[in-house]
Amino acid sequence: MTMVMGICRSFHDRALARFFHCFPCLSDPARRSSWGLKVTLVMLHLIFVGILFVFDGDLIETTKKEPWYTALYLLLLFATLVQYFITSSSSPGYVFDVMRAVNETNVICQKSSMASKQPASSQNGSLNVVIEGSQSGRNFQGSNPSSWTKLVMDMYPPGTSIRSCTCSYCNVEQPPRAKHCHDCDKCVLQFDHHCLWLGSCVGQDNHCKFWWYICEETALCLWTGILYIMYLKANISRACYLVLTNQTTYELVRCRRIPYLRRIPERVYPFSKGICRNLYNFCCVRSSIYSLEPLPSSQELEEKARPYTCLDILACRCC
């Protein structure tokens, strides 16, 4: 038994290795969960929208008469999914990436300045870091001898300790408004929050993209909710109508094909006993004995077909 389990495990490992070789993007567990999250979100959108187009007959009729209505709805769905993938695949702006770019640019420009006497602005690898506020308009050029630490400390009031602005988790100097994300295990510029559905943080670089995605997703949810309410409203109204008139869906739709209902005039409900009694029998009467309802006589049908008068309403004939 142990040998069989070992063979099965070895075969399973080889199959996984072959699969990850074909799809290297899924070899990392974090990326696997991220892709699984994206597939789940797309499937949720397709399922909720697909239910409408499969079961909602009114929407199908509207699509045939006014195709532009459905085209706008599907265009919003497509734009929402595209914006989701754009937002989820964009970087929020990690402090480590900016710090590395600043330091690398500083080293490159210093070497270029030593090799030639040309100004640093003409060398490749120049990086601009705009500092707003009281130092608005000041740019950090790659040729500037200041390091990332000096650049960050200049953003704080004089006398600020470097220990107070250094992240204790990733050991980098945090500019103001930056925060360490424990899910991403990185410091993020202008940290907003870690979005579970995106699988990444919302920060300086993707905040605008996230806002557009939220707006499109909200509009899509509201539109889909209205379509579902209209679909449920039509079905609930028809179900209530059948209960109050003591009919079935088959009798309502196929009344002209049922032999014993062909001779009955329209707007006449042969099995109705009145609204209140129909409702009471449907909701309150529970019996283990099956009830067989005979067809009404011609006299009863004439009575049911007779139009209501004010006296009939006062006498609760409809009930």
Of residues 61 and 24, more confidence is placed in: 61
Q: Does residue 44 fall inside a structural domain?
A: no
Q: How many domains does the chain have?
A: 1
Q: Does residue 193 fall inside a structural domain?
A: no
Q: Does residue 260 fall inside a structural domain?
A: yes
What is the 3-class SS of the chain, one letter each residue? CHHHHHHHHHHHHHHHHHHHHHCHHHCCHHHHHHHHHHHHHHHHHHHHHHHHHHHCHHHHHHHHHCHHHHHHHHHHHHHHHHHHHHHHHCCCCEHHHHHHHHHHHHHHHHHHHHHCCCCHHHCCCCCCCEECHHHCCEECCCCCCCCHHHHHHCCCCCCCCHHHHECCCCCCECCCCCEEECCCCEEECCCCEEECCCCEEECCCCHHHHHHHHHHHHHHHHHHHHHHHHHHHHHHHHHHHHHHHCCCHHHHHCCCCCHHHCCCCCCCCCCCCCHHHHHHHHHCCCCCCCCCCCCCCHHHHHHHHCCCCHHHHHCCCCC
d(CA 175, CA 94): 11
> For residues 263 and 302, is the Cβ–Cβ distance under 8 A?
no
Beta bridge partners of 204: none
Q: Does residue 50 fall inside a structural domain?
A: no
Nearest to 181 by CA among 204, 154, 151: 204
Per-residue pLDDT reduced to its tens digit, 180-232: 998 888 999 999 999 888 888 999 999 999 999 999 999 999 999 999 988 88
Comparing 53-67, 102-116, 302-316, the range with the smallest average pLDDT is 302-316
Of residues 159 and 137, more confidence is placed in: 159
Residue type, 289: I
Q: Which domain holds residue 278?
A: 246-287+294-315
d(CA 180, CA 162): 16
* Four-CA torsion 101, 105, 108, 112, nearest 10 degrees: 170
Nearest to 94 by CA among 210, 213, 175: 175
Query: Residue 136: its pLDDT value, please?
Result: 40
Query: Which listed residue (187, 195, 316, 318) is catalytic?
Result: 195
**Predicted TM-score of the model (pTM):** 0.65
| 309 pLDDT more than 70 | no
> Sorting pLDDT into bands at 50, 70 and 90, what band is 276?
confident
Query: Residue 214: its pLDDT value, please?
Result: 95
> For residues 234 and 58, is the Cβ–Cβ distance under 8 A?
yes
Of residues 271 and 207, more confidence is placed in: 207
d(CA 76, CA 35): 23
Q: Does residue 178 fall inside a structural domain?
A: no
Q: Does residue 257 fall inside a structural domain?
A: yes
Q: Which residue has the tokens 């399973």?
A: 12
Q: Average pLDDT of the chain? A: 76
> Sorting pLDDT into bands at 50, 70 and 90, what band is 122?
very low
Per the annotation, the verdict on 195 as an active-site residue is yes
Q: Does residue 256 fall inside a structural domain?
A: yes
Q: Does residue 252 fall inside a structural domain?
A: yes
